[in-house]
Amino acid sequence: MAELRQRVTDAFKSVQVEICDALAGITGQSFLEETWDYDTGSGGGITRVFAGEVIEKGGVNYSGVEGELSEKIAERMELGHDRQFFAAGVSLVLHPKNPFVPTVHMNIRYLERGDKAWFGGGIDLTPYYPFTEDIIRFHRSLKEVCDRHDRAYYPRFKRWCDEYFFIKHRDEARGVGGIFFDYLTEDPETTLAFTVDVGRSFLPVYLPILEKRMDSPYTDGNREFQLYRRGRYVEFNLIYDRGTLFGLETGGRIESILMSLPPLTAWTYNWQPEAGSREAEIYAMLKPRDWAGRTP
Letter for the amino acid at 199? G
> Which is nearest to 292 in space by CA: 145, 81, 141?
141
Angle at 116 between CA 114 and CA 122, to 5 degrees: 125
* Distance, first Cα to last Cα, the chain: 46
Q: Strand pairing partners for 66?
A: 42, 86
State the catalytic residues. Answer: 105
Phi, psi torsion values for 279, nearest 5 degrees: -65, -40
State the virtual CA torsion across 66, 45, 162, 202 in degrees, nearest 10.
Answer: -130
In this structure, the strands spanning 42-50 and 31-37 are: antiparallel
Q: 20, 31 in Cβ contact below 8 A?
A: yes
Angle at 238 between CA 196 and CA 24, to 5 degrees: 45
